[in-house]
Chain A
Amino acid sequence: MTAKRTMTLNLTDAEMRVLDELSVRKDITKTAVLRQALRLYQTIDARVEKGEKLLFENEATKEKAELMLL
């Protein structure tokens, strides 16, 4: 297994609640939630950096909303 390093993370109660909820709903550990978040953030950021836009489309109405990443 690839060597991993440990770090302490300071989260607010609200953040902790979200992390707990996601961990239950996605059926993965809290560490896995945060590692997944990092993967997704990097993937999206790489595409935005290339000049692409992140759009959400409502399947029923076909309405599109752009998510801004700064």
Chain B
Amino acid sequence: MTVDVSTIYLLDVATGESVEAELRDAIEQPQLDDWQTKWQPALLAVLQELARKGVPMSQWPQSWHWNWAQKTARVQGLLAFRGFSVVAQGETQGLAQVDLTKASREPCQVGKPVVYLDYLEVAPWNRPEFGTAPRLRGVGSALVTAAVALSDEEGFKGRLGLHSLPQADAFYRRIGMTDLGQDPAYQNLRYFEMTAEQARAFLEQE
């Protein structure tokens, strides 16, 4: 499979400058290696620090145990699953995987196909919730944008569904997604959906 690479730009938080980055429409071995050899140790360091400071577990970052290697291996070769990665400064900055087999739940588009954002994770050093300044800003937005754009390209008109991490609810509301409430089948995570109209507004926003 050939990988399409789009040039995107991120914000270097320390300098306020732009950073050129690659948005790749696949997750490949170097990304899995980065996850294992860079993300994992960085995340463990933060978690140990949080534990030392006695931060209650409910406030811990929520994606610490995700295992990309297993997830991508399981869906390898299946047309229904597609991956995205953001690479900048020689490192993987964010990863996402989507599932194209799901149907919409939002009343005005119920039953129509959506791109379901199965997983989205940003590299630990870019995550603002840890208390230290994140390195690059815009990684999460770029991955959501990629998922909506894929939905558009696949003829799903930008329709997007996802189960949000609790701390991320506010972001999905802000970009205009509809909050369909807690989903008991997904550990009470809130399910959000972007309708075709919302997607158009999201992609056209300058």
Contact = CB atoms under 8 A, between A and B. Distances in A.
Q: Are A and B in contact, CB atoms below 8 Å, in the complex? A: yes
A25 B109 CA distance: 10
Interface in B101-120: 101, 109, 111-113
B100 A27 contact: no
A32 B154 contact: yes
A25 B101 contact: no
B193 to A, nearest CB: 14
A2 B79 contact: no
B157 interface: yes
A26 B112 contact: yes
Interface string B133-158: 00000000000000000000111110
A40 B78 contact: no
A70 B153 CA distance: 32
Contacts of A35: 79, 154-155
Interface in B134-186: 153-157
B205 interface: no
Interface string A27-59: 111011001101110110010000000000000
Interface of B is mostly: loop
Nearest to A2: B4
Nearest to B3: A2
Given A27-B157, A39-B100, A2 B2 contact: yes
Contact of B153 (A1, A25, A42): A1
Interface in A5-20: none
A36 B100 contact: yes
B79 A38 contact: yes
A43 B111 CA distance: 19
A40 B155 contact: no
B155 A43 contact: no
B4 A40 contact: no
14 contacts: A2-B4, A26-B112, A26-B113, A28-B155, A32-B113, A32-B155, A35-B155, A39-B79, A39-B100, A42-B78, A42-B79, A43-B78, A43-B80, A46-B78
Interface of B: 2, 4, 78-80, 100-101, 109, 111-113, 153-157, 196
